[in-house]
Chain A
Amino acid sequence: MKNWFGSSRIALLALCAVSTSVFPLAAQTSAYKPVRTADGKPDLNGIWEALSSANWDIQPHASSAGPVSSLAADFAVPPGIGIVEGNEIPYLPAALEQKKKNFANRFVDDPEIKCFLPGVPRAEYMPYPFQIVQSPKTVMFTYEYDSAVRVVNIGPPTPAPVDSWMGWSAGKWEGDTLVIDVTGQNGKTWFDRAGDFHSSSLHVVERFTPRSADTLMYEATIEDPKVFSRPWKISLPLYRHVEKNAQLLEFKCVEYAEELMYGHLRKHPKGSSEESK
C-alpha cells in the first residue's frame, strides 16, 4: 500500500478539498473510495474476519445451550441477528425436511466437526481469519481453518473441470467490487452448524466491496434449483485484522477430528481398561 502515501495522496486530498467545496453534501455521503493496488484495483490484500455468529446459524437465532454440558458457557451457542436477506431461506418442501433432519443431527453431521473443507460462502464467515493475496490475474483466498484455500482466476467464468469442496472461482471487477462466480462445489458442505445445506448444483455469486479502510461488505447470491425455490442473498461486513503482527497461524484441525472419526478403531479405545497400557 505504499503507493497510497506520498505525492499521489496529496493530489488526492487536494481533489477532495475541491469536490467538497463544490458539492459539500454529495462529497460527504458518496461511496468510500478505496485504497488501490499498483494496478489500480481496490486493494483487498489483508487479513479479514467476520464478526458474526453466522457460522452457528445464518438465520436469526437466540442463544442456546451448547452440545457439551460440561463445557457449559464456554461452548454455548451465541445469538445472532442473521445474515439472510429477509431472514427466510426459500427451501423447497423436501429440502426443508432435510434441513430439519440436519438440524436435529447437527452436532454429528456438520462437516465442520470432521474438519472437512468448508466450501463457499461458509469459509467467509467462519470464526477464523482468512487472508486475501491479490494480484492482477489471480486472487488467492487462504483460510486459517483447515488450511483451506481457493484460487480466484480473474476472467470470465469457465466450466469447473471437476467438483471440489471449495469450488471453482472466477472473478471480475465491477467498479470497486470484486465479483466472484463460484460453481463446481460438491454438495457435501453446509452453510452453518444449523444444518443449512445445498446440493452440487449450487451457484454462488459473491461481491466484495470496500466500505472503509478496514471493512469490506460481503454479499452473496445463492442459487440452487434442487434445494431452493428462488435465489436468495446473504450479506455481512468483514473486518480487517489491523494488528501490526497479524498473521494466519496453522489451524490443522484434522488431528482434532481423529478420535471422533477413528477412535472406535483404536487398539485400545479411549476410556477402555486397556487404554493406559
Chain B
Amino acid sequence: MSNRFPASFSAALAGSAIALALASGAMAQTKSSALLPAREGAKTWTPPKTADGVPDISGIFTNSVVTPLERPKDLGAKEFFTAEEADAYAKKQLAVKEATGPGTYNDVHYDMAQFGLEKKQNKVAASIRTSLIVGPEGRVPALLPEAQKRQAAKAALNRGHEFDGPENRGMAERCIIWGAEGPPMLPIGYNSNLQIVQGEGYVAIMQEMIHDVRIIPTDGRPHAPSNIRELLGDSRGHWEGNTLVVDTTNFTDRNPFRGSGENLHVVERFTRTDPDTVLYQFTVDDPTTWATAWSAEVPMTKIDGPIFEYACHEGNYGMPNNLSGARADEKKLAEKK
C-alpha cells in the first residue's frame, strides 16, 4: 500500500482553490446551487471524455480528508482557511497519534500503522474548507422535533438490550452496510477508497467498505417502485455539462443518515476538476428530519489502488465475541446473586 502515502499536502493545496472555483461554476446550474456560496473565476480545464462521449470521472479514489464534516464551533462563520492556515490545520490533524495503550483499538486489534491504515499514512486531498458542510452555518441543521422523537424512540427500544442479539448491534458491526457508505458517501476512519467505472449508460461506484457497488443508470429511467426501499437507496444519474448528477430516493428507515428517515433525498454531483481530482458535492433533504436542506463537498483524490476486498461478514469475529461476552457477563452476574 505504498501508493497511499501522502504527496506534499502544501503542493496539492495550490490546486484546490481552482477546484473549488470550478465546482461553483458547475453548481450554478442547479436549484441546489443557492445553498452553496457563489464563487467567481471558473477555469477552463476540460476533462477528458469516455469513448462514448461523456465526461470521464473513472478511476480509483480516496475521499479521505482532514476536514471535519461540521465546522468546529470556535471557527464561527469562517468557511475557508487561508492556504497557510489550512496547511497548519492539516499538519496538526495528521500528527494526531492513534492511542496505543491497553484497551485501545491498536492494543486489542493491531497496530494500524503496520498496515498503512493511519490517516497520516494515506493520501489526503487538500482543501481550504473549515468544514465539509458548506455555507455560513457549517453544521448539520438541528433535528426537527419529530426526528428527535423518532431517534429517541429507537434508542429507548434498544436501551438495556444492546447485546441481546445480532439485530441489536449496529449495521456496520453486523457487516450489512458501513456507516459512511451513504449516499451521501463520506470519508471514514480508514479504507476511505472507492472505484468508479463507466459503462455505456451506467456509472458504477464500488466502495471498499463493505464491497458495495452503486450502479447508477444514466438513461433517464424513473426511480424503482416506491415500495422498494434499500439501504443504499435507488440512484438515477444524468449529465449536466461536465458533472454527473445523481438523484437518490427509496431509502429505508433502518440506516439513518444523521437522524434521517426513509424520506431522505440525496442529490450528488461529481465533477472532475483536474486529472487527479473529482469534486464530490451533495445536498440532502428530508422534510421529516430537517427544516432545511444542507450541502457539503468532499474532494476525492486519485490513488493507485487496487482496492482490496473487504470481506467483513466472512471474518466477523466481533459479533459472536460481543454476544458470547455478554452471555458470559450475565452468567457471572447470576452466579453472584
Chain A residues contacting B203 (CB-CB under 8 Å) are 133
Please give the number of chain A residues whose Cβ is less than 8 angstroms from any Cβ of chain B in the complex. Answer: 52
Whether the pair A140, B206 counts as a contact (CB closer than 8 A) is yes
Q: Are A252 and B308 neighbours in the complex by a CB distance under 8 Å?
A: no
Given contacts A38-B52, A165-B311, contact A43 B174 (CB under 8 A): no
Write out the residue numbers on chain B whose beta carbons fall within 8 Å of the beta carbon of A113.
Answer: none
Beyond A37-B52, A142-B204, A247-B217, is A255–B176 a contact (Cβ under 8 Å)? yes
Chain B 275-318 per-residue mask, 1 if CB under 8 angstroms from chain A, else 0:
00000000000000000000000000000001111010110000
Q: Is the CB of A147 within 8 A of B197?
A: no
Q: Interface code B36-58, partner A: CB below 8 Å = 1, 0 otherwise? A: 00000000000000111100001
Contacts of B204 in A (CB 8 A): 131, 133, 140, 142
CA distance A239 to B168 in the complex (A): 40
Q: Assess the B202–A148 pair: CB atoms within 8 A.
A: no
A266 touches B174 (CB 8 A): no
User: How far apart are A43's CB and chain B's nearest CB, in angstroms?
Assistant: 7
* B89 lies within 8 A of chain A by Cβ: no
Nearest Cβ on chain B to A199's Cβ, whole angstroms: 17
In the bound complex, do residue A266 and residue B306 qualify as a contact, i.e. CB atoms below 8 Å apart? Answer: no
Total A-B Cβ pairs within 8 A: 143
Whether the pair A164, B311 counts as a contact (CB closer than 8 A) is yes
**23 sample A-B contacts, Cβ–Cβ < 8 Å, listed by A number:** A45-B199, A45-B200, A116-B313, A116-B314, A117-B311, A131-B204, A132-B199, A133-B197, A135-B197, A138-B195, A140-B213, A142-B204, A147-B210, A149-B212, A151-B195, A151-B307, A161-B308, A164-B311, A254-B176, A255-B166, A255-B176, A262-B166, A265-B324
Bound form: Cα–Cα A1–B200 in Å = 7
Stretch at the interface among B102-110, B149-157, B226-234: B226-234
Which A residues are closer than 8 A to B by beta carbons? 1-3, 37-39, 43, 45, 114-117, 131-136, 138-140, 142, 147-149, 151, 153, 161-162, 164-166, 188, 244-245, 247-250, 252, 254-255, 257-259, 261-263, 265-268
**Which chain B residues have a beta carbon within 8 Å of chain A's beta carbons?**
50-53, 58, 161, 163-167, 174-177, 195, 197-204, 206, 210-213, 215, 217, 221, 224, 228, 230-232, 306-309, 311, 313-314, 319-320, 323-324, 326-327, 330
Q: Determine the distance from Cα of A140 to Cα of B51 in the docked complex, in whole angstroms.
A: 17
- CB <8 Å contact, B215 and A248: yes
Q: Which residue of A lies closest to B163 (CB)?
A: A267
> Are A151 and B326 in contact, CB atoms less than 8 angstroms apart?
no
Q: List chain A residues, Cβ under 8 A from B51.
A: 37-39, 136
Q: Judge whether A43 and B200 touch: CB under 8 Å.
A: yes
Q: Name the residue of chain B whose CB is nearest to the CB of A147.
A: B212
Q: How far is the CB of A149 from chain B (nearest CB, A)?
A: 5
Q: How far apart sit A262 and B298, CA to CA, in the bound complex (Å)?
A: 38
